[in-house]
Amino acid sequence: TGRRLCRARARIDARQLWRQIRLWHPWVIMLKAGWFEYRWRQTGEQQFIRLADETWRQLRMKG
C-alpha cells in the first residue's frame, strides 16, 4: 500500500509522516496559489488567475 511504501522510503513512522504532510499541505497550497498569481502578472493570461482563485478556494474550504 501507499503507507507501507512511504514508511519504507522515508524510514520514519507512518503516522509521523502523515502528520507532517497534513502540517505542510496548507503551505504548499499557498505557494501554488502565489505561483499562479505571479505567472498571471507576468503573462496576463487569464488561465493563471482562474487557477489561483480555485487554489485559494481549496485552501478556504479546508481551513
- pLDDT range class, residue 63, cuts 50, 70, 90: low
DSSP symbol at 12 = S
* Spatial distance between the Cα atoms of 33 and 25, rounded to a whole number of angstroms: 12
pLDDT tens-digit series, residues 6-58: 666 767 788 998 999 999 999 999 999 999 999 999 999 999 999 999 999 99
Q: Is the pTM of this model over 0.85?
A: no
**Which sequence spans correspond to the domains of the chain?**
25-63
